[in-house]
Amino acid sequence: MPNLNRIKAIAEKEVFHILRDSRTLTIIFIMPLLQLIIFGYAMNMEIRQVPLVVDDSALNSSSRALVDAFIHTDYFRLVPKSEGILNPGELFKERRAQATLSIPKGFGKESLTVLLGIDASDPNSAQMIQNYATGIVNTRFAQAGAGINLQPLILYNPDMKSSFFFVPGLIALILVMICALLTSISISREKEMGTMEQILVSPVSATEILLGKVIPYIFLGLMDALLILAVGMLLFQVPFRGEFIVFLGFTFLYVLTSLCLGLLVSTMAKTQQGAMMMALGMTLLPTLLLSGYMFPITSMPVILQKITYIIPARYYLQIIRGIMLKGNNVRHLYQSGLSLLIMSVTMLVIASRRFKLRLS
């Protein structure tokens, strides 16, 4: 049976280390903020103020209403048209415009067709521009359209702001990285410094060492989560529609899973350097690519879909997006939470089995 006092002794000692070591504190508090700010501003996928050249040959009330509808949004900015026939290709080549709108004579009377030219050298932006334009036309002029009239109902993020997407994702990414790093480094440092040899010659058990190491970092992990959440909400105006206590509970599970991943890493790495590389390798790319953060899981090949089941962030992303954007409560999230709990217990058991109480 693990002895509570020994676990407490190890946890307490770990707190002394953390308080004395400014490097650990830097990793814990400065790194997430930097990542949030860098990722946050760099990963902005929205497009604003697209330069638009309009060639209005109709010059009637309908055409003016259409042009007004375009330029009264934040998405488009009117660039004056030069003399002569509008040539989208030339304009795009000179980077004077990213989109063109040609309105033929008799628009609103004989015809309702207009031509939208889009520079698709960046396909993502092109897609966005097309979506914006369709949106504008559909909302303002739907009644005039013929055939099927598709009325989109966009919930939770009607403006499709990308910050709503990356801030929850970053909380998931940063937490797993930092937490896995913390525990794996803390244990491999004891191996490297020789202090592990000293504490092994005592009645301490593997489980006691591992639990004593995890407990202080749970608090740090949760503090980190709150910090990222607060800064994310302040800087990027992300909503928080769920209940705070639900967030705290499920984030606790995710932090625990990530810390246990770090413990598992520490049983494989001999040096701090090795532990660091392994912890980053096992968290950064898998979380970015396979958790459903960047790319939807359903569009992955079957084999990759199977792999996503062992990525903790897969579950936490559902949880955090659910809580922040949809206001989910425990009833909606317990399955993901359970998966995290099972993962952390499994990893803790494997780690304490693998943890060697002898030198080799």
Partner 1 sequence: MNAAEAQDLSVFYGSTEALKKVNLEVPEAMVYGIIGPDGAGKTTLMRSLCTLLPYSAGSIRVLDYDALTESAQIRARIGYMPQRFSLYQDLSVEQNLRFFAKLFKVSKKEMIAQREKLYGFSRLKPFAKRLAGNLSGGMKQKLALSCALIHTPKLIILDEPTFGVDPVSRVEFWQILHELKQEGVSIIVSTPYMDEAVQCDQITLLHKGSVIGQGSPNEIIARWQGKLYKLKGDNLQELYKYLQSKVDKADLQLFGSEIHLYSKDELHAELIDTWKHEFPSLSSWEEIQPGMEDVFLKMMQ
Which residues contact partner 1 (rule: CB under 8 A)?
3, 5-6, 8-10, 12-13, 16-17, 20-21, 193-195, 197-204, 357-360
Q: State in angstroms the smallest separation of the CB of 347 from partner 1.
A: 25
Choice between 13 and 332, CB closer to partner 1: 13
Q: State in angstroms the smallest separation of the CB of 204 from partner 1.
A: 6
Which tokens is 120 given?
Answer: 């698709």
C-alpha 226/C-alpha 206 separation (Å) is 31
CA proximity to 348, closest of 3, 2, 9: 2
Choice between 21 and 110, CB closer to partner 1: 21
Choice between 154 and 359, CB closer to partner 1: 359
Choice between 57 and 195, CB closer to partner 1: 195
Q: State in angstroms the smallest separation of the CB of 255 from partner 1.
A: 25
Q: State in angstroms the smallest separation of the CB of 202 from partner 1.
A: 4
**Cross-strand partners of 102:** 55, 115
3-state DSSP assignment of residue 53: strand
Q: State in angstroms the smallest separation of the CB of 11 from partner 1.
A: 11
Choice between 199 and 280, CB closer to partner 1: 199
Q: State in angstroms the smallest separation of the CB of 180 from partner 1.
A: 23
C-alpha 24/C-alpha 221 separation (Å) is 12
CB 156 within 8 A of CB 326: yes
Q: State in angstroms the smallest separation of the CB of 358 from partner 1.
A: 6
Contacts 24+ apart (CB under 8 A), 43-48: 43/162, 43/166, 44/162, 44/163, 45/124, 45/128, 45/162, 46/128, 46/160, 46/161, 46/162, 47/75, 47/125, 47/128, 47/129, 47/132, 48/74, 48/75
Choice between 2 and 51, CB closer to partner 1: 2
3-state DSSP assignment of residue 78: strand
Burial 67-97 (b: 16+ CB within 10 A, else e): bebbeeeebbeebeeeeeebebeebbeeeeb
C-alpha 129/C-alpha 95 separation (Å) is 15
Q: State in angstroms the smallest separation of the CB of 27 from partner 1.
A: 16
Angle (deg, nearest 10), helices 206-236 and 4-20: 50
Choice between 2 and 135, CB closer to partner 1: 2
Q: State in angstroms the smallest separation of the CB of 177 from partner 1.
A: 25
260 alpha carbon, distance to own chain's centre: 21
Choice between 7 and 343, CB closer to partner 1: 7
Choice between 25 and 304, CB closer to partner 1: 25
Who contacts 240 (Cβ-Cβ below 8 Å, separation ≥6)? 229, 233, 247, 323, 324
CA proximity to 297, closest of 283, 312, 307: 307
Who contacts 13 (Cβ-Cβ below 8 Å, separation ≥6)? 212
